[in-house]
Amino acid sequence: MKEISQYGKSALLERLNAQFDFARDSTLAVGNRAFASSPDGENAQIVATGLFVEGIHFNPVYTPLKHLAYKTVTSVVSDIIAMNGRPLRLAVSLAVSSRFGVEELETLYGGFRAACLDYELELAGNDLVSSTSGMTVSLACTGEARPDELRSPAGAQTNDLVCISGSLGAACMGLQILERERRIFESSPGTQPKLDGYDYVLRRQLHPAARSDMRELFASTGATPSAMIALDEGLSAGILQICRRSGTGARIYIEKIPIAAETFAVCEELNYDAVAAAMNGGDDFELLFTVPLSCYEKIRNLGGFEIIGHIVAPELGAHIVTPEGAEIEL
């Protein structure tokens, strides 16, 4: 029997999905955790799902319930946005143990409400079941887009520019700070956490925001992405997903990867490699997208994103390029 650990997440899902026939006329695009269909031939309907398990995706020791709710909604909203869609409705399902009281669930729902207000979502349904341990949050978000506007990780072409909507690695370093303070507290109960000066990385970890502004930027410039994905598992996973789905390779330049000064400072303090945080950290929810080279003049003077590489032929593979010109396979 093969162990699940032998596979990465994407490779395992590809193996499991091989049992199904996805070639339906009404399915227009498939994203990372989302899909779009247009059974009525008009606006495409997008559905994104997310599952968040205590002890795997969040630790209640340092994750306020209101922030947890907001972050989970940000995750599924980001998947709608990554398909160039407009999020509309949210459905929430919870499994909770008797460890949680009514007031705590009200706090959690306060986070859902705040996210719904910020992202202009309607809470269209919810469910609640008991659990023998901890909490699990399951979300479904729906949205829409015109069929010609839809995007997915597939669609990148050779010579396309690879772009990122904002800085990376901060959420990873926020998590490192929280984990450090958790370990100190467990070894010395009663110790107050030292969180002053880490506002930026903690906010990016606990209270991230979806990049809903990018849809307007694409529309205003006419530089619509050829492929796009929301980064919840790091830049490396995002690039590989686009390459696999598009049948291409890529070259990403280390010196072009946007990493905030605050993130660099925490990396230096903790002796953590900043590029590793950006490539593999996750939870940044920035948009990774490709645009045709012909759009370069339209976008080169715009702010709000960075060009970090380009798409190459599939036989060249996916690599990160050091300032010295060395190529490291992703």
| DSSP E strands, 168-321 | 227-230, 249-253, 287-291, 306-312, 318-321
pLDDT at 300: 75
Is residue 71 in a domain? Answer: yes
Secondary structure of residue 253 in the 3-state scheme: strand
User: Residue 211 corresponds to which amino acid?
Assistant: R
Domain-embedded: residue 109: yes
Q: Do 215 and 110 share a domain, yes or no? A: no
For 267, the token pair is: 């990396």
Q: What is the mean pLDDT of each run of 10 residues along the chain (330 residues)?
A: 82 80 60 74 88 95 96 97 95 96 97 98 95 95 91 94 96 97 88 91 97 88 90 94 95 97 98 97 95 86 87 98 96
Please report whether residue 94 resides in a domain.
Answer: yes
Task: Please indicate, yes or no, whether residues 205 and 313 belong to a single structural domain of this protein.
Answer: yes
Among the three residues 116, 149, 182, which one is the final residue of a domain in this structure? 149
Residues 275 and 219 in one domain: yes
Domain count, the chain: 2
pLDDT of residue 13: 78
Where in the sequence is the domain holding 245, given as residue range(s)? 161-329
CATH number at 305 reads: 3.90.650.10
Predicted confidence at residue 41, as pLDDT, reads: 62
State residue 216's pLDDT score.
86
175-198 in b/e form (b: 16+ CB < 10 A) is bbbbeebeeeeeeeeeeeeeeeeb
Residue 242 included in any domain: yes
Q: Are residues 21 and 59 in the same domain?
A: yes
Say yes or no: 274 and 170 in one domain: yes
Angle, CA of 174, 178 and 180, to the nearest 5°: 115
Q: Would you state the pLDDT for residue 130? A: 95
Burial class (CB in 10 A: 0-12, 13-18, 19+), 162: buried
Residue 175 sits in the same domain as residue 241: yes
Q: Are residues 124 and 224 in the same domain?
A: no
Regarding beta strands 86-96 and 135-145, do their DSSP bridges make them parallel or antiparallel, or are they unpaired?
antiparallel
Residue 44's pLDDT is what? Answer: 87
One domain, residues 216 and 88: no
118 contacts 171 by C-beta, under 8 angstroms = no
Q: Which residues share a beta bridge with 309?
A: 162, 252
Q: What is the pLDDT of residue 9?
A: 77
User: Using alpha carbons only, what angle is made at residue 216 by residues 79 and 257, rounded to the nearest 5 degrees?
Assistant: 65
Classify residue 156: in a domain, yes or no: no
